[in-house]
Amino acid sequence: MNRLDLKEMTRHRGPKFGHYVGEFATPGIGHILASAQCDFVFFDMEHSGFSIESLKQAVRYFEAADVAMIVRTPSKDYDMVARICDAGAQGLMAPMIKDAAEAATVVSYMKYPPVGKRGIALGAAHDNYLPGGIAVQDRLAQGNARTTFFALIETREGAENVDAIAATPGVDCLWVGHFDLSASLGIAGQFEHPDYLAALAKIIEAAKVHGLSLGRLVSSPDEGLADLRKGFDFCCLATDTGLYQRALITGISQLRSASSAN
């Protein structure tokens, strides 16, 4: 399958569908998502035990299956951001972006000079171990063009400053962290509360005004379709553990009910 790469996806407003992986980073996971026709994977290093070594392996699993990879970093520090990029992740999601200055700092950690301050390591995982022969400036420019930044808006401060965040050069997509955003607003889990809806509307408008993609993790197809109608174009359906658990609970419950009736 000839898919758009991640940077191209953020430049097209058509819907992109994916799945969250925070537990099952097995060798077959990339092809499992590909067989389900996923466009991307949300690979979570913030709320999982995945290490850099786990990431390096998973990058190849998804690369082999031609599934674009967004990696959520557990921190916004230089050493973590740069290592994730060097491990081969083209898409990086940074949590709890609070303002434009913080977004610009993360972008600078992802990009090589003169755009940013990322340390240079060529012939490594991120460029598929290419040997020499290509001018260094060209390789740096290619690396900068590949890296794609997803700014995770999930705090009151981030929502208040979202227009400036969206205007920051290097930001490709705004991603709504709905649970943390509602908690930050003091209304955890109340997604119909006027304060949450006002913050969400502000994020949606900022993405629209600045021509950015907009994404969110959803728990059901109906929830995803509702988001698409609001202007979202990255739809990440369910966590791996949640999807597996729901299917297993349903199946075991049906078996128990049927067996007790006999």
Q: How many CA atoms within 13 Å lie on the side-chain side of 5?
A: 9
Assigned domain for 16 exists = yes
Q: Roughly how many angstroms between the first and final C-alpha of the chain, as a whole number? A: 48
Assigned domain for 63 exists = yes
Q: CA triplet 162, 89, 151: central angle to 5 degrees?
A: 5
State both tokens at 24. Answer: 């099952």
Assigned domain for 240 exists = yes
Reported confidence tier of residue 133, pLDDT bands at 50, 70, 90: confident
Q: What is the pLDDT of residue 64?
A: 95
**Phi–psi pair at 28, nearest 5 degrees:** -90, -5
Query: Is 74 within 8 Å of 54 (Cβ atoms)?
Result: no
Strand ranges (E), the chain: 16-21, 40-44, 68-72, 91-94, 148-153, 171-176, 213-218, 234-239
State both tokens at 156. Answer: 């009151």
Tell me the average pLDDT of the chain: 95
Q: What is the pLDDT of residue 132?
A: 72
In whole angstroms, give the CA distance from residue 44 to residue 193: 28
Convert the pLDDT of each residue in 203-252 to its tens digit.
999 999 999 999 999 999 999 999 999 999 999 999 999 999 999 999 99
Q: What is the pLDDT of residue 155?
A: 98
Reported confidence tier of residue 1, pLDDT bands at 50, 70, 90: very low
Q: What is the pLDDT of residue 84?
A: 97
Assigned domain for 109 exists = yes
Query: Is 152 within 8 Å of 86 (Cβ atoms)?
Result: no
Assigned domain for 29 exists = yes
Assigned domain for 1 exists = no
Q: Is 99 a residue whose pLDDT tops 90?
A: yes
Q: Residue 183: give the domain boundaries.
A: 6-261
Assigned domain for 20 exists = yes
Q: What is the CATH number of the domain that holds 94?
A: 3.20.20.60
Assigned domain for 145 exists = yes
Per the structure, how many domains does the chain have?
A: 1
Convert the pLDDT of each residue in 35-51 to its tens digit.
999 999 999 999 999 99
Percent of the chain whose predicted confidence (pLDDT) is above 70: 99
Q: What is the pLDDT of residue 125?
A: 85
Q: What is the pLDDT of residue 73?
A: 98
Q: Is 106 a residue whose pLDDT tops 70?
A: yes
Say how many C-beta atoms besides its own lie within 10 A of residue 233's C-beta.
20
Q: What is the pLDDT of residue 129?
A: 82
Say how many C-beta atoms besides its own lie within 10 A of residue 214's C-beta.
24
Q: What is the pLDDT of residue 40?
A: 98
**Which residue stretches of 167-261 are H helix?**
178-184, 194-209, 221-230, 240-261
Cis peptide before 74 (omega within 30 of 0): no
**Phi–psi pair at 65, nearest 5 degrees:** -90, 0
Convert the pLDDT of each residue in 145-193 to its tens digit.
999 999 999 999 999 999 999 999 999 999 999 999 999 999 999 999 9
Convert the pLDDT of each residue in 53-94 to its tens digit.
999 999 999 999 999 999 999 999 999 999 999 999 999 999
Exposure class string for 181-213: b at 16+ Cβ within 10 A, else e: bbbbbebeeeeeeeebeebbebbbebbeebebb
